[in-house]
Amino acid sequence: MADRVIAGRPIVEGAAEGEALVTTEALSFWGGYDFHTGEIIDKHHPLAGVRAAGRILVVPFSKGSSTTTAVLLEAVRAGTAPAAILTTGVDSFFALASIVADVMYGKAFPVIALEPGDAAVLRTGMRVSVERSGAVRVLPQRHGDTEQSRPR
Amino acid sequence: MLTLSERDRAMLAGDRGPAAQLAMSIVVRMAAVYGASELMDVSQAHIDSTIYLGDATLEFAERLTSLGARVAVPTSLNVSGVDECGWQDWAVSPEWAAKAARQMLAYERMGASPTWTCAPYQTKMRPAFGQQVAWGESNAIAFANSVIGARTERYPDLLDVCCAITGRVPAVGLHLTENRAGELLLRLERVPQALQEDDQFFAVLGHLVGKLAADSIPVIDGVSVQPAEDQLKAFAAAAASSGRVALFHMVGVTPEAPTLEAAFQGRTVPAATTIGTADLRAARQELTTADGRDLDMVILGSPHFSVAEFRQLAPLVAGRRAHPRVKFLITSGRLMKELAEAAGVLAPIVEFGAQITLDTCILASPMLPAEIQTLMTNSAKYAYYAPSLLNTRVTFGSLADCVRSAIEGRVVRDESVWQTA
């Protein structure tokens, strides 16, 4: 079967590949993300306790604190940031964090805007690649890929 | 397509030095993200990037100062990561204190005003109606836009300082009149006057509105009381914590909403989503995560406690003593403490056993010792963030509830108005 490809709009260009982590609830990284561990810690959020480091985070938009960007910059420096962030619509906070990560550490992460209908196709556990063009490719599942099937 | 002015291009080319060049390069890249066609002037800024989180925030600040960064417009500073004069009384490590102080120094060296508060709108840096500003700090953004009618986009940390250094911002979003119209109508329905007069009401309403508004500009109709400034402050902080509200209109209360029609700038008014007493009761319940028995600390002042709040607190505590087992902490700014002292309202509060932390707060500074696990507060912002950031449990209550609980050494809440409503 051919890979499924979603045409996203690159807000900050870049390539990444990883396991999708999908939520329909907005997230504040300050008070919501522990950059020491890469874990989502907002107790009001459905993904509380889930590790997002290295994953393709699909979240509608940022909410809450202005310090979200600074937490993400710390996470990039510590190697605990998501591999890419996919939003519905343009999210300036995630874009800014990636741009400053580029300026400071030469480590931008892709920030891609998707149509809400396209974002709804993505599921946690899917293997996904993000291309510089903004194309998001759903890759064939490799056995033993998902978080759930991994021994904890 | 972005068109830069001659001055913008010169700054980008380094004519105003390497710091302005770096800051302008970030502003220009963000202008593309926002889809701006030009940049515009701001006449004031508030920098939230002052909060020390770790090496990255410090490296960013010190990179800018090492390049000779200076702010181009009058600029206030948000809370820092440490109370420079009082951190030794708390669980802050010397290493954290030293690095947070270095970050403070970096921003002071840029020529910003050392306000060190998340409520800059209650200092001399308060902007005017219609003034174009670049503000960070979610509560301050919502307050400046909505309560004052100043104009700022929702600026994140690290960009706010670039705007302050360049004095330029992308000409988009909430800077422009046409983008400030209401988008969502929320109407209070049969919410009793007594409930609206309760001092928890606006914080609870803000928490609920933040959740309902998603990414739109909410218009709140049906408020039948005239809230005090600190109640609107509590509302803004709550809505910008549970949601992403950067501008709200409250019909008959906020300056861009003298009427419902004005709040929507004469555009079609959408059908209302109603807010009833049951919704408010549920929202208030969400702010309490403790089981209501133990109490280690009462915490007031997010956003920073104002002189009006000190005045309100003083008669409640005068001649009383907090229970020896319960800490009573107020987080505030230097100016507010001075004003409270001058007004003679600080002494009874200190005699009651209250401690005062300046320049920072319990969320921005790792100051609470591990044994403090249950908090009580009248701040929806503290109640929202403390469980996740500090791993504490929180009871939300009125100012009077907080005082009574501190005296009795256990959680006491007057539920009458919320139960019968």
User: Using CB atoms, which residue from B30, B56, B136 is nearest to A99?
Assistant: B30
Q: Is residue B118 scored above 60 in pLDDT?
A: yes
Average pLDDT of chain B, as a whole number = 97
- The helix-helix angle for B55-66 and A68-78 (nearest 10°) equals 100
Whether A65 and B241 lie within 8 Å, measured CB to CB = yes
Report how far residue B143's alpha carbon sits from residue B245's, in angstroms, rounded to the nearest whole number: 10
Predicted pLDDT of residue B292: 82
Residues 6 or more apart whose Cβ sits within 8 Å of residue A124: A19, A20, A21, A22, A147
User: Using CB atoms, which residue from B33, B59, B159 is nearest to A90?
Assistant: B33
* Token couple for B226: 């005239």
Q: Could you read off the pLDDT of A12-28 as tens digits, one per residue?
A: 999 999 999 999 999 99
Q: Where are the domains of chain A?
A: 4-139
- Class assignment of domain B6-178? alpha beta
Q: Which fold has domain A4-139?
A: Glucose Oxidase; domain 1 (3.50.30)
To the nearest 10°, the Cα dihedral for B224, B228, B233, B239?
-10
DSSP A143: T
Average pLDDT of chain A, as a whole number = 93
Of A146, A116, A113, A144, the C-alpha closest to A128 is A146
**A2 pLDDT band (50/70/90 cuts)?**
low
Q: Is A65 a catalytic residue?
A: yes
User: For the residues of B360-410, what is the DSSP string, one character each?
Assistant: S-TTTS--S-TT--EEEES-HHHHHHHHHHH--EEEE--HHHHHHHHHHTS
Cβ atoms of B410 and B374 within 8 Å: the answer is no
**A148 pLDDT band (50/70/90 cuts)?**
very low
Q: Could you read off the pLDDT of B22-72 as tens digits, one per residue?
A: 999 999 999 999 999 999 999 999 999 999 999 999 999 999 999 999 999
Whether A66 and B155 lie within 8 Å, measured CB to CB = yes
Report how far residue B160's alpha carbon sits from residue B154's, in angstroms, rounded to the nearest whole number: 9
Q: Could you read off the pLDDT of B156-211 as tens digits, one per residue?
A: 999 999 999 999 999 999 999 999 999 999 999 999 999 999 999 999 999 999 99
ipTM given for this complex? 0.95
Predicted pLDDT of residue B167: 98
Predicted pLDDT of residue B421: 61
Per DSSP, helices labelled H in chain A are: 68-78, 92-105, 116-119
* Token couple for B285: 């319940």
- Give strand pairing partners of B76: B46, B113
Report how far residue B261's alpha carbon sits from residue B251's, in angstroms, rounded to the nearest whole number: 9
pTM: 0.96
* Token couple for A73: 């910059």
Q: Could you read off the pLDDT of A79-136 as tens digits, one per residue?
A: 999 999 999 989 999 999 999 999 999 999 999 999 999 999 999 999 999 999 999 9
Average pLDDT over residues B238-256: 98
Predicted pLDDT of residue A1: 56
* Token couple for A1: 């079967």
**CATH number of the domain at B297-420, please?**
3.30.499.10
* Token couple for A61: 């938009």
Report which secondary-structure segment, H or E, holds A87.
Answer: strand A84-88
Of B320, B202, B326, B213, the C-alpha closest to B273 is B213
Q: Is residue A150 scored above 80 in pLDDT?
A: no
Q: Could you read off the pLDDT of A55-87 as tens digits, one per residue?
A: 999 999 999 999 999 999 999 999 999 999 999
Whether B156 and A76 lie within 8 Å, measured CB to CB = no
Long-range (24+ apart) CB contacts under 8 A made by B340-348 are: B340/B307, B340/B310, B340/B311, B343/B307, B343/B310, B343/B311, B345/B307, B345/B310, B345/B311, B345/B313, B345/B314, B346/B310, B346/B314, B348/B314, B348/B315, B348/B317, B348/B318, B348/B319
CA distances (Å), origin B100, targets B51, B95, B140: 8, 9, 22
Residues 6 or more apart whose Cβ sits within 8 Å of residue B61: B49, B103, B106, B107, B161
Predicted pLDDT of residue B41: 98
Cβ atoms of B355 and B330 within 8 Å: the answer is yes
Which residues of chain A have a CB within 8 Å of the CB of B26?
A: 96, 99-100, 103
Q: Is B31 in a helix, a strand, or coil? A: helix
Predicted pLDDT of residue A149: 38
Whether A77 and B55 lie within 8 Å, measured CB to CB = yes
- Give strand pairing partners of B77: B47
Find where tokens 């459905």 sit. A46
- The helix-helix angle for B55-66 and B18-34 (nearest 10°) equals 120
The residue of chain A with its CA nearest to that of B47 is A66
Report how far residue B358's alpha carbon sits from residue A136's, in angstroms, rounded to the nearest whole number: 47
